[in-house]
C-alpha cells in the first residue's frame, strides 16, 4: 500500500469514527464492549482491562459507564440497554475495586448526616426530569448502595444484569476486582478471605461496624 493509500484509509477511518453513532448497531465501539466501573480516580479502567476506552482516534474500545461503586442502578441499566440493543455491543464487564469509598462508611450514618443538614430524604426527587421515579419511604439508605464486601457485590451486580429483561441472554457478562493496593486484576472471590486478606475488600476491614442496609443480600 502506498503512503497515499494509507493516508486515504486513515482519513476514511477517522471520518467514520466521528459519525459512528449515526450507524447505530453497524457503528459499534471497537470491542463491542460496555464497562460498568466505579468512579474512583484510583481505578484505571484501561490499565485494568488492557483496553483503550477513553481517548482520541485510536481509542474507543468501549462504552464506559462509571458511578459510585460500579453498581447496578436504573441509569446503568438504561445505558446498558441502549448500547446492547441499539449500538451493537455484545459484552458487559463489571469492574469494582478494593478500598472503595462505598465500603468506608455505613449507609444509615450517611442518611443521618444528610438529615442533620435539613434534607428530607423521604421526599428527594430521584430524577427531577422524571417525577414518576420515587423511592419508598425509608429506602434512602438502601438506595445509596454502600457495600459490605466488594467481591460479593461484584458477583451480585453481574447476576442482576444477567437476569434483567432488558439485557439479551446472548450477551457475555463478567465481573472483576481491581486490587488498588497492588495494581492487579483478579476474579471476585466468594465465601473466603483467602487470596484477598491483604486488601481492603470489606467494610469491616475498613472499620465499619454492622451490616449495611440490605441492598445486596
- Mean pLDDT value across residues 94-109: 97
Check residue 217 and give its pLDDT.
75
β-strands 33-38, 62-67: how paired?
A: parallel
Do residues 89 and 178 lie in contact, with contact meaning Cβ atoms separated by under 8 Å?
no
The pLDDT of residue 55 is above 70: no
Q: Cell 461503586 identifies what position? A: 69
The 3-state DSSP composition of the chain as helix, strand, coil percent (nearest 5) reads 35, 15, 50
What distance in Å separates the CA atoms of residue 141 and residue 94, rounded to the nearest whole number?
23
Query: Residue 46 corresponds to which cell in the numbers above?
Result: 484501561
Note the pTM of the prediction, 2 decimals: 0.92
Q: What is the pLDDT of residues 56-95, one digit of tens each?
A: 555 789 999 999 999 999 999 999 999 999 999 999 999 9
What distance in Å separates the CA atoms of residue 210 and residue 117, rounded to the nearest whole number?
24
Looking at CATH, the fold of the domain delimited by 3-104+146-186 is given as Beta-carbonic Anhydrase; Chain A (3.40.1050)
Do residues 56 and 26 lie in contact, with contact meaning Cβ atoms separated by under 8 Å?
no
What distance in Å separates the CA atoms of residue 29 and residue 87, rounded to the nearest whole number?
8
Check residue 57 and give its pLDDT.
56
Which residues contact residue 75 at a Cβ distance below 8 angstroms, ignoring those fewer than 6 apart?
A: 67
Q: Cell 427531577 identifies what position? A: 128
Query: Residue 166 corresponds to which cell in the numbers above?
Result: 432488558
Check residue 207 and give its pLDDT.
95
Q: What is the pLDDT of residues 4-44, one digit of tens each?
A: 999 999 898 888 888 998 999 999 999 999 999 999 999 99
Amino acid at each position: 500500500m502506498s503512503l497515499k493509500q494509507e493516508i486515504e484509509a486513515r482519513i476514511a477511518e477517522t471520518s467514520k469514527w466521528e459519525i459512528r453513532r449515526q450507524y447505530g448497531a453497524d457503528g459499534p465501539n471497537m470491542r463491542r464492549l460496555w464497562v460498568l466501573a466505579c468512579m474512583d480516580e484510583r481505578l484505571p479502567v484501561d490499565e485494568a482491562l488492557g483496553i483503550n476506552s477513553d481517548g482520541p482516534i485510536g481509542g474507543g474500545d468501549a462504552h464506559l459507564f462509571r458511578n459510585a461503586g460500579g453498581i447496578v442502578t436504573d441509569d446503568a441499566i438504561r445505558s446498558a440497554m441502549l448500547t446492547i440493543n441499539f449500538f451493537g455491543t455484545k459484552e458487559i464487564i463489571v469492574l469494582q475495586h478494593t478500598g472503595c469509598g462505598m465500603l468506608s462508611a455505613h449507609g444509615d450514618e450517611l442518611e443521618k448526616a444528610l438529615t442533620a443538614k435539613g434534607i428530607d430524604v423521604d421526599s428527594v426527587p430521584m430524577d427531577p426530569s422524571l417525577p414518576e421515579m420515587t423511592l419508598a419511604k425509608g429506602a434512602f439508605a438502601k438506595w445509596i448502595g454502600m457495600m459490605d464486601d466488594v467481591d460479593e457485590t461484584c458477583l451480585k451486580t453481574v447476576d442482576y444484569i444477567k437476569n434483567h429483561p432488558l439485557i439479551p441472554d446472548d450477551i457475555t457478562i463478567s465481573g472483576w476486582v481491581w486490587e488498588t493496593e497492588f495494581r492487579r486484576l483478579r476474579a471476585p472471590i466468594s465465601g473466603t478471605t483467602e487470596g484477598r486478606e491483604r486488601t481492603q475488600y470489606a467494610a469491616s476491614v475498613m472499620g465499619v461496624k454492622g451490616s449495611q442496609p440490605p441492598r445486596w443480600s
